[in-house]
Amino acid sequence: MFYTVKLKTVIIIALIICALVPVVACAVTSAVSSDGVAVPIIMYHSVLKNQRRLGKYVVTPDELESDMKYLRDKGYTTVFIQDLIDYVYNGKTLPEKPVILTFDDGYYNNNYYLLPLLKKYDMKAVISIVGTFADAEDETKTRNPNFSYLSWGDMDELIKTGYIEIQNHSYDMHKITSSRNGAKMRKGESLADYEAFLNSDIMKLQNLMEEKLGCKATAFVYPFGAYSRESSDIIKKMGFLATLSCTEGVNKITKDPQCLYMLKRYNRPHNKSVASFIK
C-alpha cells in the first residue's frame, strides 16, 4: 500500500514537472509564437539636418532619435543580422522584442549623426556598403555629411565601436543602366553569365572587406530591392546566410535557415515615424 502511494506521488510530481516545463519556456521566450520570433527591420539611408534634403531616404537626427526613444519605450532591443544567424544556426537566444535598424549605401553622415545616438541609447545598427562608393572616398580631402560616403578607415573605426555591423550592398551594382537594374538578371542573359556576373561583383566586395576590415559580410542587401527568381540560389551558393529585400512587413524568424532570406524591411521616410508601422 505504502509503496503504491509513494509511486503515485512520484508519478504525480513528475506530471506536474512536465506540465511546468513548457510554461517556464514560454515565459522565457515570450516573443516566440508557433510561427517564429517577430523581427521588424527598419530601413534608413541618410541622416541630415538640411531641411531641403529631407525625403523618402533622408531623415533628420531628431527623427532618428525619436524612433530610438519610441522603440526603447516599447521594450524593443536592437540586434545585428548576425544575432539572427546565431539564433538559427548556433542555438543562441534573441531578446524578447528584437528589432534591426539598417542604414543602406554607407553614407558618411551615418558616422556623423547615427553613431552618437547609438552610443547614447546603447543600440546597434547595420550599415550596408557599396564597394565603389567606399573606394572613391579619399580621407585626405575635405569630406561633407551631405555627399560623402564612409571610407574604409571610417568603417574600421565603426566596427571597433561594437555598435555597427557592416553588410554587403554590392561592389558596383548600385545603379540602373539601360541593360540592368541593380542585381537583376538581364533580359536574355544565360544563367551561367548571370551567375558569373553576380559572383564577380559581390565577391569583389567580400574580398575587399576581408582585406580592409578583416571580416566578410554574412548578408547581401539587394540594391533597390531588385532581384530575379534566379538570384537567391546563386547568392546562397556564395555563402551568404541572409539577404535583405525592400518588401515591407514583419519577419518571423524560426530555426529554419530559409527564413533568413529575403528579409522584409520597412522604409522610414521623413515625416513618417516608426510608430506608424511598429507597435
Binding residues for Zn ion, per CB under 5 A?
104-105
**Closest CB to Zn ion among residues 60, 168:** 168
Cβ distance to Zn ion smaller for residue 62 or 248 = 248
Distance in Å, CB of 117 to Zn ion, minimum:
21
**Other beta carbons within 10 Å of 195:** 19
Task: Tell me the closest approach of the beta carbon of residue 104 to Zn ion, in angstroms.
Answer: 4
Q: Which is nearer to Zn ion, 98 or 106 (CB)?
A: 106
Instruction: With beta carbons less than 8 A apart as the criterion, state whether 159 and 135 touch.
Output: no
Calpha distance 183→168 (Å, rounded): 12
Cα-Cα-Cα-Cα dihedral sign, residues 48, 49, 53, 57: positive
Q: How far is the CB of 220 from Zn ion (least distance, A)?
A: 12
CB of 143 or CB of 265, closer to Zn ion: 265
Q: Minimum Å distance from CB 107 to Zn ion? A: 10
Q: What are the b/e assignments for 203-233, b being 16+ CB within 10 Å? A: eebbebbeebbeebbbbbbbbebbbbeebbe
Q: Which residue is nearest to Zn ion (CB)?
A: 104
Query: What is the grid cell recorded at 79?
Result: 540586434
